[in-house]
Structure 1
Amino acid sequence: MFQTAVRRSSVFQPLKYGGKYTVTLIPGDGTGKEISNSVSTIFKAANVPVEFEEIDVTGMDKRDKPTEVALHEAIQSMKRNKVGLKGIFYTPSERDGHTSFNVALRKELDLYASLSLIKNIPGLKTRHTGVDFALIRENTEGEYSGLEHQSVPGVVESLKIITEAKSKRIAQFAFDFALKNNRKSVTCIHKANIMKMADGLFRKTFYNTAANYESITANDLIVDNASMQAVSRPQQFDVLVTPNLYGSILSNIGSGLVGGPGVVPGGNFGHENALFEPGCRHTQLNITGRNEANPTAMILSACMMLRHLNLKEYADLINAATYSVLEDGKTVTKDLNGTANTEEFTRAILEKMERL
């Protein structure tokens, strides 16, 4: 359960026709289509007043003009609808591959705040219990600015961009989130002991912003120490706010604490748009088309989206049914040590919804 903390502009207004919201759906690569189908099936069964405008975009092709056209269509769809649900795009590591479509969407739509909810789910046995923290990362600058060049053969320079303005707005988002969701503390994650100017500015701006939120405890941790603390005593964390790269790493660590990438929901927020997606970004290419994917993260992300649209009753029903199936442990997917496939897991949720 969460409340959106974004400071919206006056033009933010999701499209609604005939009592239904129009939402952009971008399945993504790997198992994206399979887990998106689970959400669509559940929404239909629950009569959720949402119609999906589906745009198929793939990051699998290195350089492909139709693919870039589809990405442009997805961006235009988001600009119309203001709200979207997406899977994860594959990003090639080769130098001749395209830039990250995930990053491109966030930058084009100025989805500056990424939110991942790291929380133990009843029924899923993990090494740690009592884990419940929100990870908020700045989405548009830092190492993900993508500004690289080869100054001379064999020497590459990659620019890390940190600005006071964007550091301030992500800090405000984190503190606003803490206030609206009864969180008690916000921890700034940084490497200011080494990158004294860049991360130093991020940390300084964080504390300047904290002065306006006297009821929230503000503190900070160096990122390597934070990683160690996360795997040894994650219960100490409440809300974490990070530059882009550190948040990417810590979201993966966090997913490992609570059951893996298949169970962590997330979303990306800007002043005019909100795009929800699994909080730990894995395409799961190795099991694509095998009906083995765990759709929990996508389903819970969709529930976050429904709350964002003020459709709380639908979100609560779907969330409760999903948690009930996971707690029963009888019909869970292979990543959770079960034997159910994606469709069986989805049917189990539908059956729970009927009982609830």
Structure 2
Amino acid sequence: MHRVTMLEGDGIGVEICASLRKVFRAAEVNIQWDIYQTGEKHFEKHGELISDDCFNSLEKNKVGIKGPMTTPIGTGFRSANVFLRKKYDLFANVRPVKSLGKIDSKFENIDITIFRENTEDLYQGIEEMEDENTAKSIKIITRKGSERIAKEAFEFAKKNNIEKVTVVTKANIMKFTDGLFLEVAREVAKNYPGIKLEEVLVDNMAMQLVMYPERYKLILTENLYGDILSDLCAGLVGGLGLIPGANIGKDIAIFEPVHGSAPDIAGKNIANPTALILSGCLMLEYLGEIEAATRIKNAVDKTLSDKNNFTRDLGGNKSTEEFTDAIISNL
């Protein structure tokens, strides 16, 4: 029996978390859930995004999964996602982007995994106003942070027989920060002689991905670039509603969909739960439940191979509940 902390989040979070639990129950996955309301509504009621009880549960269970949480743009509280990553030192953000079913897209057979450093860079949130007309943000890159994400990427490549790791920086301009990240990637690569290290600048990488995405299998990059490129890659396969994510630290991991909380469709039973369900599959793999993860992923792929099952974001008309039931029927 695995005990997992679930943070339901905002907007569509409650609905898609319910879908995940329903699919896992049908798949007879042996999980006990600790479920917590979190996010904006919890903040309005209690003045905190996440309760102490939820933190205690995460620290006890060592594994969590969360729905999307709203982050105000420009003002208000900082991102709960960033806070969790910093609090628990979840240094590896892993986002697999893979073609699914028969979703219309410009490319077929996309299979890219992005390894994004998750605790440093501009996302440290070290900002200040120098004067009323000048704002400053500090970019932090360390050897330790760069080395451990590089090792994670190369170990994944080794385990999955991937012949090339593409490291993405802007080291031609930011010679100290991005230069350090690139230097460390080169050092780590020397320990994996069977795996090629390819170096690409981030602006060129954005162009390459929309022209020749089939050339790439594993991207290693910094926090900000990884966030942007993973959204770009999501567009190659049908959108953010399909992309799972994992935040992995030394002894704790939290899994989440890449997309936002979509408050405009919350409560309407039209949200696509695919990204959270696939995030749940990443969690099952992390827990060693490979067979269950494979069955659920295959059921999702089969469901999305019939356009009659598509939710509204994919051009169909299935509700969240109907889509969930279709996955269960395909288990």
Q: TM-score range by the shorter chain?
A: over 0.9
SS of the residue corresponding to residue 115 of structure 1 reads strand
Mapping of residues 227-238 of structure 1, within 5 Å: 227-238=206-217
Q: Does 2:249 match 1:277?
A: no
Give me the whole-angstrom Cα distance separating, in 2, the residues matched to 1:69 and 1:32.
14
Match of 1:4 in 2: none
Choose from 213, 228, 231 the match for 2:192. Answer: 213
Give me the whole-angstrom Cα distance separating, in 1, the residues matched to 2:27 and 2:198.
43
Which has the higher mean CA deviation after the structures are superposed, 305-314 or 113-122? 305-314
Match of 2:62 in 1: 82
Give the superposition deviation at 1:67.
4.3
CA gap 1:60/1:157 in 2 versus in 1, 3 angstroms: farther
Deviation string 1:231-255 (CA, Å, 9 cap, x unpaired) is: 1111111110111100110011011
Match of 2:107 in 1: 128
Deviation string 1:292-348 (CA, Å, 9 cap, x unpaired) is: 111111111111111111112221221111111111222110111111010000111
Match of 1:14 in 2: none
Deviation string 1:175-215 (CA, Å, 9 cap, x unpaired) is: 01111122111111111111111101111111011111111
Structure 1 residue ranges (4+ consecutive) displaced by more than 6 angstroms after TM superposition: none
Match of 1:11 in 2: none
Instruction: State the percentage of identical aligned residues.
Output: 41
Q: Does 2:70 match 1:93?
A: no
Match of 1:70 in 2: 50
Match of 2:25 in 1: 44
Give me the whole-angstrom Cα distance separating, in 2, the residues matched to 1:179 and 1:73.
39
Task: Mark the runs of 5 or more structure 1 residues left unpaired by the alignment.
Answer: 1-19
Deviation string 1:77-129 (CA, Å, 9 cap, x unpaired) is: 2111011111121111233x111100000110110000011111131121011
SS of the residue corresponding to residue 167 of structure 1 reads helix
Q: Does 2:10 match 1:32?
A: no
Mapping of residues 289-328 of structure 1, within 5 Å: 289-328=267-306
Choose from 158, 173, 178 the match for 2:137. Answer: 158
Give me the whole-angstrom Cα distance separating, in 1, the residues matched to 2:122 and 2:241.
26
TM-score, normalised to structure 2's length? 0.96
Look up the equivalent residue of 1:261 and give its one-letter code.
L
Q: Does 2:5 match 1:21?
A: no
Give the superposition deviation at 1:75.
2.5
Contact 2:241–2:259, Cα closer than 8 Å, also in 1 = no
What CA RMSD, in Å, does the superposition of the two structures yield over aligned residues?
1.4
Q: Does 2:96 match 1:117?
A: yes
Report the number of matched residues: 331
Mapping of residues 179-258 of structure 1, within 5 Å: 179-258=158-237
Task: Mark the runs of 5 or more structure 2 residues left unpaired by the alignment.
Answer: none
TM-score, normalised to structure 1's length? 0.90
Give me the whole-angstrom Cα distance separating, in 2, the residues matched to 1:228 and 1:169.
28
Look up the equivalent residue of 1:229 and give its one-letter code.
Q
Contact 1:192–1:222, Cα closer than 8 Å, also in 2 = yes
Contact 1:192–1:203, Cα closer than 8 Å, also in 2 = yes
Deviation string 1:22-79 (CA, Å, 9 cap, x unpaired) is: 1010111121111110011111222210011011111368x75824263443332211
SS of the residue corresponding to residue 89 of structure 1 reads coil
Give me the whole-angstrom Cα distance separating, in 2, the residues matched to 1:148 and 1:65.
28
Choose from 339, 347, 351 the match for 2:317. Answer: 339
Give me the whole-angstrom Cα distance separating, in 2, the residues matched to 1:137 and 1:161.
14
Give me the whole-angstrom Cα distance separating, in 2, the residues matched to 1:331 and 1:186.
36
Give me the whole-angstrom Cα distance separating, in 2, the residues matched to 1:65 and 1:160.
34
Contact 2:39–2:49, Cα closer than 8 Å, also in 1 = no
Which has the higher mean CA deviation after the structures are superposed, 67-76 or 206-215? 67-76
Look up the equivalent residue of 2:73 and give its one-letter code.
S
Contact 2:49–2:80, Cα closer than 8 Å, also in 1 = no
Look up the equivalent residue of 1:317 and give its one-letter code.
R
Give me the whole-angstrom Cα distance separating, in 1, the residues matched to 2:194 and 2:243.
28
Look up the equivalent residue of 2:102 and give its one-letter code.
G
Give me the whole-angstrom Cα distance separating, in 2, the residues matched to 1:274 and 1:109.
9
Contact 1:326–1:332, Cα closer than 8 Å, also in 2 = yes
Give me the whole-angstrom Cα distance separating, in 1, the residues matched to 2:136 and 2:41.
26
Look up the equivalent residue of 2:97 and give its one-letter code.
I
Match of 1:16 in 2: none
Give me the whole-angstrom Cα distance separating, in 1, the residues matched to 2:237 and 2:50.
35
